[in-house]
Each structure stands twice: as structure tokens, then as C-alpha cells.
Structure 1
Amino acid sequence: MNVIDKALSSDISLGLLLEALAASPDLPLAFRYDGRLVKPGYHVTEVKAGQFSSFDCGANPETWAEIFVQLWDIEEGDRTHMPAGKFAAIIRKVSEHVKLDGSAKLTFEVSDGVQPMQLYCASVPVISNGVVQVELVARAASCRPRDRWLAKQAQETACCGPANAATKCCG
């Protein structure tokens, strides 16, 4: 198994996904979610971009850009998984009409046409058995004030640990 990019992540941007796919445009592209691969006949049924503004549970204003890629997980005739380059071409075609920010948060909406659509974030593509695979991880709800607090705690712990006790970051 070869990782296209060594910086594994479970929430990559559209730009990072396209950059990784450019390395293997002729290989089939398969998405994996809920422990299984999408069916070979899958379709990219919609790509949309949004700008969002909100207030979180701590009354903090939040703004972000997000791109949604909708996958219809169906079996269709004798089709095979589309090449990575075709997926990239679909995104390029959309970007001719819709402003797509490559650094925006990337969300996949996946359904088989029967089950409700589920939201996923994407991991860095991996080449396995001649197929570019992108693991889709269920997007969980979170509390942004808590997430910021945890990140700050982790930074302080890393900065002020025993090895760094004499540095000025410990106050």
C-alpha cells in the first residue's frame, strides 16, 4: 500500500485531494465509506460551494467556505470505477461555472439512492492494488469553543512540558 502524501489526515481540502489525484490520473478512483468501497457505477451527481456564517454555542461568530461533492453509490451495467483524472476533470468543469476555493473544507454527501444521504470528510488518497482509494470518514458534530480550548490545552502542554519548561512560552 502506497500513501500518495505522507501527511495523513482525515479532513483534507479539495485542493489537496486534486493535487494527490494528479499523480495517478489513469488509475481507478474508489471511495471507501462505512467499511466498503463505492460501487463501480458511482456518479458525481453534484458539486456545490458554499460560504457559511454562524454563531457557535459560545456566541462566537464563525465563517467558513465549504465544498460539497455528492456521490450516488450505484451499480450501473459493466462500468468500472472512474479514473482519478476523470474525477478531477469533473471538478475542473464545475469550477468553470462555480467558484471553488481549493482550501475550503471538503464534505462528501453519499447515498445509494435508498438510504438517506450521509456526510463524510476525506482522508489523503492511498494507492492499493492499482486503485486510488479515498477513505471517507463520517463527519461528526463538534463544539467549536470546546475544540478551540482543547487545541489550546494541547499547545500549552507541548510547549510547557518538562523539556520546554525554561522557554518563554510557559509564561
Structure 2
Amino acid sequence: MKTLELFSILEQHQDKTLLFEYTSNKFIGANYHITEVKHIKVDSVDCGAQTDSWNETIIQLWESPLERNRTKYMSVLKALAILKTVGKMRSYDLASEIKFEYSNASFHTAQLFVNEFKIEENKVIFQLGTKKTDCKAKELCGVPEMAIDRLEKETVEVCCDPSSNCC
């Protein structure tokens, strides 16, 4: 999901509460806060010596231990106000990918993508998830797609062979 789409959804549903499902049927607690918004510029070089760059917007969510008993979720209106305040201080790249950074005692810190969103009664629910890491230079490095699924160990050896085109 792009940052513009997130803002559009929030703008259309300001009268609802905002929930995040960080994994199947597990929700970030009602005691969450938006603690940071990161505007990230990524400049990368992959294992095939190819360069790439893109922007990301990362919204950090944190559950306050002082509000564990809280049952009322943040309103979309409040979240939107926070995000707009940030936008006045640091401009958003509205075409950038949106991610949510989160962890708790039983879930590792992760940057989660928006897989889906749904509107249920008075709630906006963003369903979050991870994506597996991937080799962007498979073709250049001579790593067949089938090898990744069946022969992961051999694939690593092929890709990292000194005679391959990989760095």
C-alpha cells in the first residue's frame, strides 16, 4: 500500500476506530501509540551489483505498558491528526510504500506491510504482514527459481560462487 492510499482511507473513515492486525487474528492492543514516523530513502546495491533506490514511510506503533487495561482504540481522526502534524514538519512522499513497525513480548520487531484493509461497522482494520527476503539478481547470478524452492542450500552456494557474476 502506498502512503497516499493510506491517507485516502483514513480521510474517508474519520468517524471510526483504527485497529491493526499484526498477524492472523492477533491485534495490536488498544493501548497503542504512534511513536514515530520515518521518511526513509533507500539506496541499495544487490548481489548482482545492480543499484536501486526508493522511499518508504514507516509508522512505528508501540503499546504503552501504563495503559494495558485500555479498551478503547485510537480513532482514525486522532491518527490522521498525528500524521498530518508530521507532514507539516517533514513532507511525505505519497508514492512511497507504507510500513508499520511493531513488536511486543511475543512478536519480534518487524516492519510490516499492509496486506489488506477492511471496514467493519465502526472500525478500520489494517491487516499487516511480512514479506520474505529475496534475491533481486537471480537471473543475473544464474539462480533458477526452482532451485530456491527445492535446493536452498545449493542455491546459496551457486549464487556465492566466486565465478558467478555476483559481488
Q: TM over 0.5, yes or no?
A: yes
Measured in 2, the distance between the counterparts of 1:113 and 1:91 equals: 26
Number of corresponding residues: 136
1:24 paired residue among 13, 20, 39: 13
Q: TM-score, normalised by structure 2?
A: 0.73
- What are structure 1's unaligned runs of at least 5 residues? 1-11, 148-171
- What are structure 2's unaligned runs of at least 5 residues? 140-167
Higher RCO structure (Cα 8 Å, ≥6 apart) = 1
Q: Deviations over 1:18-66 (max 9, x none)?
A: 1011111010000001221111111111001011111112211111111
Q: Residue type of the partner of 2:3?
A: L
Measured in 2, the distance between the counterparts of 1:141 and 1:80 equals: 36
2:36 paired residue among 46, 51, 75: 46
Measured in 2, the distance between the counterparts of 1:52 and 1:78 equals: 37
Alpha-carbon distance, 1:129 to partner: 3.7
The secondary structure found in structure 2 opposite 1:68 is: strand
Measured in 1, the distance between the counterparts of 2:125 and 2:53 equals: 31
Q: Does 2:115 match 1:123?
A: yes
Q: TM-score, normalised by structure 1?
A: 0.72
Q: Which residues in structure 2 correspond to 1:9-88 (within 5 Å)?
A: 12-35=1-24, 36-74=26-64, 76=67, 77-88=69-80
The secondary structure found in structure 2 opposite 1:18 is: helix
Q: Deviations over 1:78-123 (max 9, x none)?
A: 3511111211111111111112111111121102267541120013
Query: Which one has the bigger strand percentage?
Result: 2
